[in-house]
Amino acid sequence: MTSVFVAGATGMLGREVVRSLVRRGAEVRALVRTGSTASQALTDDGANVIEGSLSVRLATAMEGADVVISALQGGDDVIVDGQVALLRAAEKAGVPRVIPSDFAVDLFRLDDGDNVFLDHRRRAHEAFGGSPVRITSVLNGAFAEVMTASFLEIVDWDNGTFSYWGDGEQPCDFTTVADTAAYTAAVALDPESAGRPVRLAGDVLTMKAFHAALERGSGRRLEPRQLGSVDDLAGEIRRRKSIASSPTEYVALQYVWAMVSGKAKLAPLDNDRYPEIRPTTVTEFAERFRR
């Protein structure tokens, strides 16, 4: 039985990853912070819960594991320092493979400054260099859940609008959280994925097709509004950045820019490697917004 150690198991993605791994018959060790209120729920999901931190006795907790998955989220202290601590513990425990918390557009095609959160992830990969542990990034494009949330400033369900930057013709990658988790579990149980990024997308749509799929699935009209060109979006990001007190005030637009500019498009896709997973289309996903 494959044994998988999951850090960030209490998070939006991590919880689904745990469930997907259990469904696939893996032995799951879920790391939660000491005193976490989520321990019982993860136990009920079938995980062996380990209470601890990213700094104390991690290697002991990882002993005998085949793979470590990180679904951590946070600033550079978590994404760089925390994940390097995970990697060092994996090395010490002899765990051969780690899946870091990448789960994004193709961050390896971006330059420093394009996206502050993805910069941290590339920094972590630089620190992983030279390790005997083989790293597998799971790249999924954007979560459909996030792309339809108000903070992305694309879909406004209350006012019935769909706002987009660019000409709306650039293909973009969309995957639900549950499908990303299902793919991550499949990748974790696939030793041949070791040492390279795996690119997976539930649906590939231009912004215009994304708009049409949301209308079709939800049965709701969303008035399209073109906000400006891709360069105008870059200018808006610069403007917000110049007055921001925190990256959270502009990073959402940096993700959108990475998509609509085409710079971080996933290609080629590896979906065919996991034919047992039939991912949710955006049209199917949007049915949850029916009134």
Ligand X SMILES: NC(=O)c1ccc[n+]([C@@H]2O[C@H](COP(=O)([O-])OP(=O)(O)OC[C@H]3O[C@@H](n4cnc5c(N)ncnc54)[C@H](OP(=O)(O)O)[C@@H]3O)[C@@H](O)[C@H]2O)c1
Site residues (vs ligand X, CB under 6 A): 8-14, 33, 36, 53-54, 71-74, 78, 82, 101, 103-104, 140, 142-143, 146
In whole angstroms, the minimum distance from the beta carbon of 80 to ligand X comes to 12
Q: Which tokens sit at 17?
A: 């990853």
C-alpha triplet 19, 24, 29: angle, nearest 5°: 55
In whole angstroms, the minimum distance from the beta carbon of 221 to ligand X comes to 25
Residue pair 67/188 in contact (Cβ under 8 Å)? The answer is yes
Nearer to ligand X by C-beta: 80 or 233? 80
Nearer to ligand X by C-beta: 77 or 223? 77
Structural element, H or E, at residue 26: none
**By CB neighbour count within 10 A (0-12 exposed, 13-18 middle, 19+ buried), where does 221 fall?**
exposed
Coil/strand/helix, residue 215: helix
**By CB neighbour count within 10 A (0-12 exposed, 13-18 middle, 19+ buried), where does 40 fall?**
exposed
In whole angstroms, the minimum distance from the beta carbon of 188 to ligand X comes to 15
Q: Nearest residue to ligand X, using CB?
A: 11
Residue pair 231/164 in contact (Cβ under 8 Å)? The answer is no
Nearer to ligand X by C-beta: 82 or 197? 82
Strand duo 3-7 + 67-70: pairing: parallel
**Residue 156, phi then psi, degrees to nearest 5:** -120, 95
In whole angstroms, the minimum distance from the beta carbon of 291 to ligand X comes to 25
Q: Which tokens sit at 68?
A: 């470590």
Nearer to ligand X by C-beta: 34 or 229? 34
Nearer to ligand X by C-beta: 25 or 46? 46
Nearer to ligand X by C-beta: 237 or 252? 252
In whole angstroms, the minimum distance from the beta carbon of 52 to ligand X comes to 8
In whole angstroms, the minimum distance from the beta carbon of 100 to ligand X comes to 8
The full DSSP string for 209-271 is: HHHHHHHHHH----EEEEEE-HHHHHHHHHHHHHH-SSGGGTHHHHHHHHHHTSTT---S--G
In whole angstroms, the minimum distance from the beta carbon of 135 to ligand X comes to 14
Nearer to ligand X by C-beta: 144 or 160? 144
* Dist. CA 203–CA 282, nearest whole Å: 7
